Amino acid sequence: MISWIIRRLFAGLVTVWFIATATFFAMHLVPGNPLDNEKAVAPEIRANLEKRYGLDKPLLAQYGIFLGNMARGDFGISFAQENREVNDILREHFPVSAVLGITALLFASIGGILGGALTAHFRGRVADRLVMVAVIAAISVPGFVVAALAQLAIVNMNSWHGSQLLPVAGWGSPSHIWVPALVLGLGTLAYLTRLMRSSMLEVMSADHIVTARAKGLSAMQVFRRHELRNALLPVVTELGPTVAAITTGGFVVELVFAIPGMGRYFVQAVQQLDYTVIMGTTVFYGAFLVLVVVVVDIIYGFIDPRIRLYGADQ
Amino acid sequence: MQTALLFLFLVMSAAVSAQAIDVAKQRITLTLDAEPPSLNTFTSSDAISSEILVHVMEGLVQYGPDGKIMPAVAARWSSDNQGARFWLRKDARWSDGKPVTAHDFVFAWQQVVAPATASQYAFIFNPVKNAAAITRGELPVSALGVRAVNDYELEVLFERPCPYFVSLTAWVSYYPARRDIVAKWGRAYAADHDKAVYNGPFTLARWVHGAEILMRRNPQYWNNAATRLNEIHYAYVTKDELAKFNLFKNENTAYTTLSLGSLDSAMQAGYRVEQFQTAALFFLEFNHRPAHVTANLALRKAIQAVYDPDMVVYKMMGRPGTLPGRSLFPMTVRGHKGRFRDEYPARRLKPDLATAQRWLAQAKQELGVDQLPPLTLLASDSPLSIEQAEYLQFLLNKTLGISVQIDVQTFKQFIAKRGKGEFEISVAGWGPDYDDAMTFADLFASWNANNRGRYNNPAYDALIEQAGNSADPAVRFAAFAAMQQLIQDDVVILPIYEEVDLYLRHPALKGLYRPVFGGDLNLRFAWLEHSE
Amino acid sequence: MSSIDAGLFTPLQRDGKAIKDAEPLAVPGLLNRLAANAQARLSFAVLVALFAFAVLGPVLWPQSAAEQWLSDVSVGPSRSYQALLVDPYAEVDLPAAQQLTAVNANTEFVDLVWPPVDGAARYAIYRKLANSDTVAGLPLATVTELSYRDRLQLRRKAYVYRLVALDAGGSALQELSLRVSPVAALSVFEAQMHGLVKTGVSAASLQGQQVTIPAHPLGTDAFGRDMLARLIHGARTSLFVGLVAPLLFTAFGTLYGALAGISGGRVDQYMMRFADFVVALPFLLFMILLRVSLGIGPGDSGINTIILAMLLLSWPGPARLVRGQVLQLRGHAYVQAATIAGAGRGYLIIRHLFPNILPLLLVSLSFAIPSAIFTEAFLSFIGMGVAPPTPSWGSLCNEGIRHMMSHPHELIFPALLISIAVLAFNLFGDALRDVTDVRTRQRLI
């Protein structure tokens, strides 16, 4: 098991290198230069700036220097924020995205698992139908529309109620999180509900559940010991990609709700061609996602012992 | 780790919902469009940083609420064709209590022009003797034409006559700096609120990057008695116009600018909309390089004959106060006594299809083609810029049958392509750097690197020389008037509009002003007071 | 070994139906089963309607998606109307006025004149809709003269002008107000531009004529372009990207996966390791990055760039799927039997592999399409989608969201179309999955 984890982590490192390389060259393909600005500068100043950021060296040399620095965990200095290090930017903005993402994930997974299990149990009844219609609708509306409508709803609700029930935008207190997180997690919530429902339906008709019922176990016992655990398997598998979708999908929500997260920062960085920030963000996110996948694999192994056995062989 | 993080976050933050104004505490809440790129005055060059800096720093002079220059660190000054002299007030102090001296200015100015600093605004020192040569690395920084006669007297020597020099010293790049503080923090100088000292009416009390900035009254400020606000809190950092408007409507912020969409909503809500002429001119820039068809005057004339800025401004943009572009010089440019454009009116052109067709036929003949090749129309990816591009594409295709290919690029690529001349027409804009017509005029001098269409006309250059080497207003304004006419006759550019900023302000927020130069929005003299 | 009872070979029964072993599902059978499924029929009908909208739309609704009716910018659903030709460039002599008067009042311009107010240095002019109960109104201008020409987005509605005389210090001295209902009008220049009247005729001779302005059943956008026509063209973009990108990356992924699976061994290992790398790239981050680095040239709609970026990032999904199937099939007895019987690779692929993976691919495709539509919409929303003036549902939403509060129709229609398309594809995918009984989810490891 341990050696399997180590091997997975090593493969993860290679993946991070690949991400870094792909980003580096994709970025340098972009015509233009982060040092280009509205006001043209004297060639002497331009030369000094290029020297400061190491852009005067050949591309491959820049790549070598970048890899060396990356290995030491140093992504350099932002082009747009002249006296801030990329590491500082990540340190300040990533936790914001993480808190938002985790809250969204909690909403989505708790809501999805409960919703899926319940609708499966009430299959075919009105409640099931209603939830499934809501779920389908939630999947079908683009996130930015939901976000903008949610904000509008808050403004109207506050002015109707005459007090600040919920903040319109911004960051800094728990009350700032709920609505953006819900908006962010909505698609995933709907997706997990569907997944859980079908998985649950499948499990409920499985032979061992029939046996368990026949043995005389109560519905709750059957649910907890057999159904939930087995039905969760496919849901857990989906958690990896889900975490990825939620953490990097925060762009829209961060934009609309003025949340100082990493997603919003990344969009700006691409627009300003802020080489160092783009590199830092993609590599950091890539590494984070690789780690998440490994963690999910391990969790999966604990839930389903078969995987541990087979996994160790592969 | 995840739960720990969440827990930490929940504990850390108390429920705070920003309040637009607090009259008792004289505290206001605002949004900032983006994280300030640099609060180091040596390299700072953008509007957002200067919005912060104008409150926490102070130069020799400042722009007052009436738009005129008023004393700041300098109590008085004198200026002639050779140079300027400033007498500093003795009670001006830094936020750590030390006096602001002439040496702080000499040090700061030398830093800006130093080649190692590589400041994009080094050019703003060009009127000062030797500044350009120092930036090019030909002379040491000590050769800069500025000298501290004593702690409270500053002497400046000019490279050539500069009638507007005193107003330049209100600009961010001319702010003072403390050698010891800069040395202490090195690269990190001004990167955080506690890594700098301030000499303005406010200090930075908190700076959470990308999230908020809190400015608090500076008790050390020499004119502290005149400061009435205690706290300015930029609680939100967002450019999203919808979010900004919603925050204002929800009474979280005391001020917001209005975009294309929120103006109508503001009208529906019955808010009082206010206007501010930003002095920026937006225009269509032609590529005059010989390899491009737009080098042909008849073609440019044909386009000029169908292009009516009134249609764009009144019908499409629909922002009250926006002026249709009629000249290179916006209405805000100063003349002899009043406005330059009142003294030297620009000729108004009427669109005329028949004339346009004639010019087009002539252009085709001169170029020796039956059908013009598609024109590349370069635009940046801002909604306003795209809007102009889409209109021009439709107009030229519909009226002249010219096919136009829009090339929308992100900002850096847009600049790169403009610089390399990969366009026939480009949607461009220019905001003034200093309070003189020259900031617009020299844009089309053949030697100016910002002349990205490479317009090259010796007659125009001669007019620039004429205006640049004279301190006589009569000579200068006559030259500018001739340039205005030449720009129109030669169709160097097609002015689109003079920008107006529409904004909403909490009725209790008084004394706010928006100067064209030296940091907008300005709350130095603002206060909160409930009306009636 | 004792004798084997023939009964062992009768299929097991559940719910009265035989449980069948996985067997190749022929396409005709699939279609029959789909046709029997109500959800499939309904969603398919919606999809057909959407494609008909995109393909036949321009024929049935011939208005140009590019024509900018600048006098009707951002109007809601509207009928055709008659407009009077006027010449806003003609010089007019304004008479002296005894009270606040509108000398001309049409939607091209309203000329206001007023008598001087004692002590007034400037006059501030405000305008509001007559039916609005607010006081303030739009600040049009502050002038020193005794007349003002209002040209700002005048509509066929009743307005109230408010004139405030200000003294030198800016205090209000007197207020005048006037109700004005401008008549529908169009400038001669614009009428000529739209081809409503002949060019080369003097403006004066055309003045006073009436022209017909077309109807806009779904309103117009911020350029006065017909919303319905924009939506039709947007449908073409969005559905094209939504269909072609998944088709391409599924096709490429299938080839890649099949090649890896059939080759086996080292080659398989390296190929799949590379696929793992690509999967690890953060999708949206790289979509944005690739969109910028692949670039969009002048006049290019950017559709190809987006499709290419999706292809580069999304192929590993189907590749893994197909490779897994191939490996599984290779183990099946009937495939081994066919191999022993001397079947060639081509035969194996066409006869056994393809029919087996087709339903699987169809299902994965039917879910890839809505997600591709979403991706395009998302990119357009953050301004990194198709290049203007090409419309797509996403870019229409992006433009509409700015006017969401004042002109909701600009957001509602494109957003609704995205939702309907995504919903229909999802439901169809669901039905397809049900009838094929295919598992789309893959196990990690």
Find the CB nearest A169 among B10, B236, B417: B236
Say whether C444 and A300 touch across the interface (CB within 8 A).
yes
- Measured in angstroms, the CA of A275 and the nearest CA of chain C are apart by 11
The answer, yes or no, to whether residue B47 has pLDDT greater than 50, is yes
CB-based contacts of A110, cutoff 8 Å, min separation 6: none
Q: How many residues does chain A have?
A: 314
Beta strands in B350-492 (DSSP E): 375-380, 404-409, 425-430
**Rounded mean pLDDT of chain C?**
84
Could you give phi then psi for residue C158, rounded to 5 degrees?
-90, 135
Share of residues in chain B with pLDDT > 90 (%): 65
Kindly indicate the confidence band of residue C11, based on its pLDDT and cuts at 50, 70 and 90.
Answer: low
Would you call C138 an interface residue with chain B, using a CB distance cutoff of 8 Å? yes
The answer, yes or no, to whether residue B14 has pLDDT greater than 60, is no
Contact C343/C413 with Cβ under 8 angstroms? no
- Measured in angstroms, the CA of A27 and the nearest CA of chain C are apart by 6
Residues of A within 8 A of B188 (CB-CB) are 83
DSSP code for B98: P
Q: Give residue C6's pLDDT.
A: 61
Instruction: Give chain C's radius of gyration (CA, Å).
Output: 33
pTM: 0.87
Q: What is the pLDDT of residues B333-349, one digit of tens each?
A: 989 888 999 999 999 88
- Looking at B508-522, C88-102, C195-209, which range is the least confident one? C195-209
Q: What is the pLDDT of residues C184-239, one digit of tens each?
A: 999 988 998 898 888 777 777 777 888 999 999 999 988 899 999 999 999 999 99
At how many degrees (to 10) do helices C316-331 and C227-263 cross? 40
Would you call C378 an interface residue with chain A, using a CB distance cutoff of 8 Å? yes
Contact C372/C354 with Cβ under 8 angstroms? no
- Measured in angstroms, the CA of A119 and the nearest CA of chain C are apart by 17
Q: What is the mean pLDDT of residues B2-30?
A: 65
Q: What is the pLDDT of residues B106-163, one digit of tens each?
A: 999 999 999 888 888 888 899 999 999 998 889 999 999 999 999 999 999 999 888 8
In the stretch 89-128 of chain A, residues with CB closer than 8 A to chain B read: 89, 92-93, 95-96, 98-99, 102-103
CB-based contacts of C436, cutoff 8 Å, min separation 6: C25, C30, C359, C360, C362, C363
Q: Give residue A310's pLDDT.
A: 47
Beta strands in C57-100 (DSSP E): 81-86
**Rounded mean pLDDT of chain B?**
90
Q: What is the mean pLDDT of residues A126-131?
A: 83
Q: What is the mean pLDDT of residues B64-73?
A: 89
The answer, yes or no, to whether residue C441 has pLDDT greater than 70, is no
Find the CB nearest B5 among A34, A82, A95: A95
Residues of B within 8 A of A33 (CB-CB) are 412, 416
- Reference B284, options B501, B487, B517; nearest CA is B487
Instruction: Give chain B's radius of gyration (CA, Å).
Output: 25
Q: Please give the Cα distance from A184 to B395 (Å, whole number).
A: 42
Q: Please give the Cα distance from B520 to B516 (Å, whole number).
A: 7
Say whether C374 and A142 touch across the interface (CB within 8 A).
yes
Q: Give residue C2's pLDDT.
A: 54
Residues of A within 8 A of C396 (CB-CB) are none
Would you call C376 an interface residue with chain B, using a CB distance cutoff of 8 Å? no
Say whether C378 and A248 touch across the interface (CB within 8 A).
no
Would you call C68 an interface residue with chain B, using a CB distance cutoff of 8 Å? yes
C-alpha of B171 from chain center: 11
Picking from A44, A52, A53, A83 by the largest number of B CB atoms within 10 A of its own CB, the best residue to mutate is A83
Find the CB nearest C189 among B353, B357, B393: B353
Interface predicted TM-score (ipTM):
0.85
Instruction: Give chain A's radius of gyration (CA, Å).
Output: 24
Say whether B272 and C136 touch across the interface (CB within 8 A).
yes
Q: Give residue C40's pLDDT.
A: 85
Q: What is the mean pLDDT of residues B358-384?
A: 92
In the stretch 339-358 of chain C, residues with CB closer than 8 A to chain B read: none
Share of residues in chain C with pLDDT > 70 (%): 92
Give the chain A residue whose CA is nearest to the CA of C427: A136
Say whether A159 and B252 touch across the interface (CB within 8 A).
no
Residues of B within 8 A of A161 (CB-CB) are none
The answer, yes or no, to whether residue B84 has pLDDT greater than 90, is yes
- Measured in angstroms, the CA of A141 and the nearest CA of chain C are apart by 5
Which residue type is seen at C181? S
Find the CB nearest B237 among A40, A173, A260: A260
Q: Please give the Cα distance from C433 to A283 (Å, whole number).
A: 37
Q: Please give the Cα distance from C194 to B398 (Å, whole number).
A: 8
Q: What is the pLDDT of residues A169-218, one digit of tens each?
A: 778 778 888 889 988 888 888 888 888 888 888 777 777 777 877 777 77
Say whether B383 and C402 touch across the interface (CB within 8 A).
yes
- Reference C429, options C359, C378, C374, C354; nearest CA is C359
Please tell me whether the peptide bond between B140 and the residue prior to it is cis, using omega within 30 degrees of 0: no
Q: Give residue A235's pLDDT.
A: 75
Q: What is the pLDDT of residues B201-227, one digit of tens each?
A: 999 999 988 888 999 999 999 999 999
Q: What is the mean pLDDT of residues A140-151?
A: 85
Q: What is the pLDDT of residues A228-280, one digit of tens each?
A: 777 777 777 777 667 767 766 688 888 888 888 888 888 888 888 888 888 89
Q: Give residue B15's pLDDT.
A: 39
Q: What is the mean pLDDT of residues B457-469?
A: 93
Give the chain B residue whose CA is nearest to the CA of A156: B250
| C80 class by beta-carbon count within 10 Å (0-12 exposed, 13-18 middle, 19+ buried) | exposed
Paired tokens of C147: 């007349």
* Interstrand relation of B21-22 and B27-32 (parallel, antiparallel or unpaired): antiparallel
Say whether B211 and A260 touch across the interface (CB within 8 A).
yes
Say whether C66 and B406 touch across the interface (CB within 8 A).
no
How many other CB atoms are there within 10 angstroms of residue B527's CB atom?
Answer: 16
Could you give phi then psi for residue B493, rounded to 5 degrees?
-140, 165
Paired tokens of B437: 């017509």
Paired tokens of B471: 């301190």
Q: What is the pLDDT of residues C249-274, one digit of tens each?
A: 999 998 898 888 888 788 888 898 88
Say whether A169 and B243 touch across the interface (CB within 8 A).
yes
Give the chain B residue whose CA is nearest to the CA of A88: B209
Tokens 């700041």 found at:
B72
| B81 class by beta-carbon count within 10 Å (0-12 exposed, 13-18 middle, 19+ buried) | exposed
Please tell me whether the peptide bond between B521 and the residue prior to it is cis, using omega within 30 degrees of 0: yes
Residues of B within 8 A of C402 (CB-CB) are 241-242, 259-261, 383
Q: How many CB pairs under 8 A join B and C?
A: 142
Q: What is the mean pLDDT of residues B289-309?
A: 95
Q: What is the mean pLDDT of residues B312-329?
A: 92
Q: Give residue C438's pLDDT.
A: 53
Find the CB nearest B275 among C136, C139, C404: C139
Tokens 């098991």 found at:
A1
The answer, yes or no, to whether residue C297 has pLDDT greater than 50, is yes
Say whether B2 and A30 touch across the interface (CB within 8 A).
no
Q: Please give the Cα distance from B481 to B484 (Å, whole number).
A: 5
Find the CB nearest A140 among C277, C384, C419: C419
Tokens 């009082």 found at:
B272
Q: Give residue C5's pLDDT.
A: 66
Q: Give residue B34's pLDDT.
A: 87
* Interstrand relation of B375-380 and B425-430 (parallel, antiparallel or unpaired): parallel
The answer, yes or no, to whether residue B471 has pLDDT greater than 80, is yes
Picking from C19, C283, C288 by the largest number of A CB atoms within 10 A of its own CB, the best residue to mutate is C288
The answer, yes or no, to whether residue B12 has pLDDT greater than 60, is no
Contact C67/C226 with Cβ under 8 angstroms? yes
Q: Please give the Cα distance from B469 to B475 (Å, whole number).
A: 10
Find the CB nearest A139 among C277, C292, C426: C426
Beta strands in C19-152 (DSSP E): 81-86, 101-105, 110-113, 122-129, 138-143, 147-150
- Measured in angstroms, the CA of A18 and the nearest CA of chain B are apart by 26
DSSP for B467-494?
A: HHT---HHHHHHHHHHHHHHHHHTT-EE
Give the chain C residue whose CA is nearest to the CA of A22: C281
In the stretch 162-221 of chain A, residues with CB closer than 8 A to chain B read: 164, 167-175
Give the chain B residue whose CA is nearest to the CA of A84: B191
Kindly indicate the confidence band of residue B462, based on its pLDDT and cuts at 50, 70 and 90.
Answer: very high
Q: Give residue C15's pLDDT.
A: 54
Paired tokens of B256: 């917001």
Contact C61/C232 with Cβ under 8 angstroms? yes
Q: Please give the Cα distance from C393 to C376 (Å, whole number).
A: 9
How many other CB atoms are there within 10 angstroms of residue A141's CB atom?
Answer: 19
Say whether C444 and A137 touch across the interface (CB within 8 A).
no
| B347 class by beta-carbon count within 10 Å (0-12 exposed, 13-18 middle, 19+ buried) | exposed
Contact B328/B445 with Cβ under 8 angstroms? no
SS3 content of chain B, % helix, strand, coil (to 5): 35, 20, 45
Q: Give residue B10's pLDDT.
A: 43
DSSP code for A72: T
Say whether B316 and C66 touch across the interface (CB within 8 A).
no
Q: What is the pLDDT of residues C336-373, one digit of tens each?
A: 787 787 777 777 777 777 777 787 788 888 888 988 98
Residues of C within 8 A of A233 (CB-CB) are none
Q: Which is higher by pLDDT, C141 or A38?
A: C141
DSSP code for B190: T
Could you give phi then psi for residue B157, rounded to 5 degrees?
-105, 140
Give the chain B residue whose CA is nearest to the CA of A158: B250
Would you call C293 an interface residue with chain B, using a CB distance cutoff of 8 Å? no
